[in-house]
Amino acid sequence: MISAPRKTGLVFFPAFDWAISPEHPEREERLLYTQDQVMEEGLLDIPGIVEYRVRPAAYEDIQRAHFCVPDEAAVTTKSHLISAGGCLVAADAVLKGEVESAFALVRPPGHHAMRVVHGNRGFCNINIEAVMIEYIRTHYGIRKVAIVDTDCHHGDGTQDIYWHDPNTLFISIHQDGRTLYPGSGFPNESGGPNAQGKTVNIPLPPQTGEKGFLYALDELVMPLLEEFGPEIVINSAGQDNHFNDPITNMNFSARGYAILNERLKPDIAVLEGGYAIENALPYVNVGIIMAMAGLDTSFVKEPNYEKDYRPQSRDVTLNIEQLVETLKDLFLRGGLKKKPYDEGQILERKRDIFYDTDGIQERQNEKIRCCSHCAGAFSISSTASTGQHIMGVHIPMEACPACRKTALNWFQTGRKGAFRHVYLQDRDRGVYDVV
């Protein structure tokens, strides 16, 4: 009889009654065949694999990670709350020590959702990883977190939320943004003034295969994690790098995902994208669950693997080796020259953000206080084509008195301004205020 060497929690929520629209990739059917495969394999009967029941997240959980405009109710559905709640269940299972690791196999996904939320971007409304991480920080006293996003699309939402946080290492491995949505995620995007080098983007060329992914993992991701020394490692486990995926151009496989997971050994994995619902997801998910549980995955593969899988070309291999070399220089060998800023200096940046799913245009103006004592206070003023005009002020955990003071000043000034709503996200005191 078989049993799992590593005790693993599984939170499965296929949301069989929710879709963005009837024919959208993010629809009821998406995890149907994954469920079939997981059930047929009998994975849930294996001693050491424990299935947990989901619960919805509360608005309070969302407010630790987002400024929802105008409020949470307007930009989330029940399904988003349950998907995020599924991640919280996974986090509880791991942090209470009931299991060694957990996989939140939930939908809808979240890694394109940024801190300010006006609507749906890239099938995401709520960043389910960020909601989970901030929950973990609040309830379990953990600070240093690493996120390895292996979705084929750049995790621009997660990058945005943790851009200024020196306690979060965000690594995204994805298909080159010049060839795929959302068009970002280049090596020069490496974190805000207080968190320089804490965002690492690894844009792989189209047609990257098993070899390329695992090379980037071994050469770059693992040493970066070792250097950072996180208390917990999260994998945003998108599955659209698969050779059968209809909306991307990569060449990864179920075996590849399983090996990646075996080596990365994330504490918590969270499903992100992946839309080859009948010929990739069932096998990739089985591979990930088995790898997390420490089971032998050598028999896991797609029925069409022999017929359709092609190892990556020599050109792709050379291209990846070059990229990894460049990134190693920057992030592992001290090549990234950190820009010096004056203590207390306020930096500003302006950005335009497009919500492809909902067709919303947003313009942001962000101010961050450069600080060597804490993650730094920041404020975002945001105007969207929906007519919304808001300001959000963020006070980080363990904020220094100077940053707190600056933030409160911004908030007071904002209240007198022309904003429709002004939000204060005080992570240090656990307060969320809206005026």
CB of 302 to other proteins, least distance (A): 7
Using rule CB under 8 A, residue 435 touches other proteins: no
Decide whether 60 or 329 has the Cβ nearer to other proteins: 60
What does the alpha-carbon distance between residue 81 and residue 151 come to, in Å, rounded to a whole number?
A: 21
111, 112, 164, 421: which one is catalytic?
Answer: 112
Using rule CB under 8 A, residue 144 touches other proteins: no
Task: Provide the mask over 300-319, with x wherever binding to other proteins is found by CB under 8 A and - wherever it is not.
Answer: xxxxxx--------------
Using rule CB under 8 A, residue 290 touches other proteins: yes
Is there a catalytic annotation at residue 112? yes
Decide whether 188 or 299 has the Cβ nearer to other proteins: 299
What does the alpha-carbon distance between residue 421 and residue 391 come to, in Å, rounded to a whole number?
A: 7
Decide whether 2 or 332 has the Cβ nearer to other proteins: 2
Query: Tokens representing 195?
Result: 């968190």
Decide whether 22 or 141 has the Cβ nearer to other proteins: 22
Using rule CB under 8 A, residue 299 touches other proteins: yes
SS3 for the chain, per residue? CCCCCCCEEEEEECCCCCCCCCCCCCCHHHHHHHHHHHHHHCHHHCCCEEEECCCCCCHHHHCCCCEECCCHHHHCCHHHHHHHHHHHHHHHHHHCCCCCEEEEEECCCCCCCCCEECCCECCECCCHHHHHHHHHHHHHCCCCEEEEECCCCCCHHHHHHHCCCCCEEEEEEEECCCCCCCCCCCCCCCCCCCCCCCEEEEEECCCCEHHHHHHHHHHHHHHHHHHHCCCEEEEEECCCCECCCCCCCCEECHHHHHHHHHHHCCCEEEECCCCCCCCCHHHHHHHHHHHHCCCCCCCCCCCCHHHHCCCCCHHHHHHHHHHHHHHHHHHCCCCCCCCCCCCCCEEEEEEEEEECCCCEEEEEEEEEECCCCCCCCEEEEEEECCCCEEEEEEECCCCCHHHHHHHHHHHHHHHHCCCCEEEEEECCCCEEEEC
Decide whether 37 or 385 has the Cβ nearer to other proteins: 37
Contacts to other proteins from residues 41-80, by CB under 8 A: 41-43, 45, 51-56, 78-79
Using rule CB under 8 A, residue 367 touches other proteins: no
Binding residue for other proteins, selected from 124, 131, 286, 320, defined by CB under 8 A = 286
Contacts to other proteins from residues 228-247, by CB under 8 A: 246
Decide whether 38 or 225 has the Cβ nearer to other proteins: 38
| # residues near other proteins by CB under 8 A | 51
CB of 64 to other proteins, least distance (A): 22
CB of 294 to other proteins, least distance (A): 13
Decide whether 179 or 304 has the Cβ nearer to other proteins: 304
Contacts to other proteins from residues 16-35, by CB under 8 A: 16-18, 22-23, 27-29, 32-33, 35
CB of 394 to other proteins, least distance (A): 31
Using rule CB under 8 A, residue 98 touches other proteins: no
What does the alpha-carbon distance between residue 398 and residue 381 come to, in Å, rounded to a whole number?
A: 23
CB of 30 to other proteins, least distance (A): 10
Part in contact with other proteins (CB under 8 A); list of ranges 183-191, 296-304, 402-410, 418-426: 296-304
Contacts to other proteins from residues 245-284, by CB under 8 A: 246, 278-279, 282-283
Q: Are 236 and 377 in contact (CB under 8 A)?
A: no
Catalytic residues: 112
| Interacting residue ranges for other proteins, rule: CB under 8 A | 1-2, 12-18, 22-23, 27-29, 32-33, 35-37, 39-43, 45, 51-56, 78-79, 82, 246, 278-279, 282-283, 286, 290, 295-296, 298-305
